[in-house]
Amino acid sequence: MFAQNGPIAVFDSGYGGLTVLNHMHKTLPEYDFIYLGDNARTPYGTRSFDVVYQYTLQAVKKLFELGSPLVILACNTASAKALRNIQQIDLPQLDASRRVLGVIRPSVEAIGALTQSRHVGIFGTVGTIQSESYPIEIQHLFPDISVTGEACPMWVPLVENDEADKPGADYFVRQHIQALLKADPNIDTAILGCTHYPILKNKIEEWLPQRVTLVEQGEIVANSLKDYLKRHPEMDARCTRNALCRYYTTESAEKFKRSAGVFLNDEIEVEKITL
């Protein structure tokens, strides 16, 4: 039996979820967290439904073993392709008292109040865009909003390889902004629907017309987590609070430590694990 009480777990295919974790630290400073990056198998964005589901399920099982009662999939691709199956099929068998939440629903809930034109764009991985998760969720909550997705397969590799600030990134950033706005010139709100993309924010803002508001998920997801804990005191009581954070990666710990510097300012301890 794994520990019943423990840290909130944040999972991503790589480093992208650290942009969400940063906001969680600010919003819930006293809580303990563990972060797991499946860096050995990133990116998930170009992988099939089944593969993303299996990889994500392995990660969730490991995070439960590490004692986490609550896992946040801080990865849109995993949220789009694995969350529903894990919640409906696996969780009841694994441990019905633990919870797994994603990042798409809270992001969608926030956009209703942000768009005036009711035309919204989504930048995401190939997997997230092909899954149609955003249009489906948006249609459900805000049927008057029209949604256009743009898959940006090069954006995650640019971030993972520390190229986000380099001149080569401009070409790929401009290309996808132009394609999105050509597909729907009335878009006034664009969601960064991949947790890696905030690292490209400066470049994106350079190329995005000022009339378009760029929506980042980190703060939205952190506030939604805070609200969730308020509404679920039984889960809140199981989340430990010593302001500790541990980092795990499926790749080399040294490499994680070096690259995580792009996302974090602190010196961190990292452990390599196998899923």
Residue type at position 197: Y
Site mask for ligand DGL (CB under 6 A), range 143-172, x = bound: -------------x----------------
Question: What is the three-class DSSP state of 59?
Answer: helix
In Å, how far are 14, 20, 74, 248 from 11, measured between CA atoms?
8, 10, 5, 10
Contact pick of 6, 11, 13, 275 for ligand DGL (by CB under 6 A): 13
Order of strands across the sheet that contains 99-101: 99-101, 70-73, 8-12, 33-37, 245-249, 270-272
* Cβ nearer to ligand DGL, comparing 169 with 239: 169
Q: What are phi and psi of 235, to 5 degrees?
A: -75, -40
Alpha-carbon distance of 24 to 2, in angstroms, equals 24
Contact pick of 16, 37, 106, 121 for ligand DGL (by CB under 6 A): 16
Contact pick of 68, 128, 131, 224 for ligand DGL (by CB under 6 A): 128
Alpha-carbon distance of 228 to 257, in angstroms, equals 31
Site mask for ligand DGL (CB under 6 A), range 38-67, x = bound: ----xxxx----------------------
| Min separation Cβ 153 and ligand DGL, Å | 8
In the block, tokens 């986000």 appear at 164
Answer yes or no whether residue 75 interacts with ligand DGL by CB under 6 A: yes
Enter the tokens of residue 121.
């764009």
* Cβ nearer to ligand DGL, comparing 147 with 239: 147
Answer yes or no whether residue 12 interacts with ligand DGL by CB under 6 A: yes
Residues 6+ away with beta carbon under 8 Å from 227: none
* Cβ nearer to ligand DGL, comparing 57 with 75: 75
Task: Name the residues annotated as catalytic.
Answer: 75, 194
| Min separation Cβ 62 and ligand DGL, Å | 17
For residue 86, count CB atoms less than 10 angstroms from its CB and return exposed for 0-12, middle for 13-18, buried for 19 or more.
buried
Contact pick of 39, 77, 115, 131 for ligand DGL (by CB under 6 A): 77
Binding to ligand DGL in span 173-202, by CB under 6 A: 194-196
Counted residue by residue, the chain has a size of 275
Q: Do the Cβ atoms of 203 and 175 come closer than 8 Å?
A: no
| Min separation Cβ 81 and ligand DGL, Å | 10
| Min separation Cβ 186 and ligand DGL, Å | 26
Answer yes or no whether residue 106 interacts with ligand DGL by CB under 6 A: no
Chain residue at closest Cβ approach to ligand DGL: 45
Alpha-carbon distance of 63 to 216, in angstroms, equals 26
Question: What is the three-class DSSP state of 9?
Answer: strand
Binding site for ligand DGL (CB under 6 A): 12-14, 16, 42-45, 75-77, 125, 128, 156, 194-196
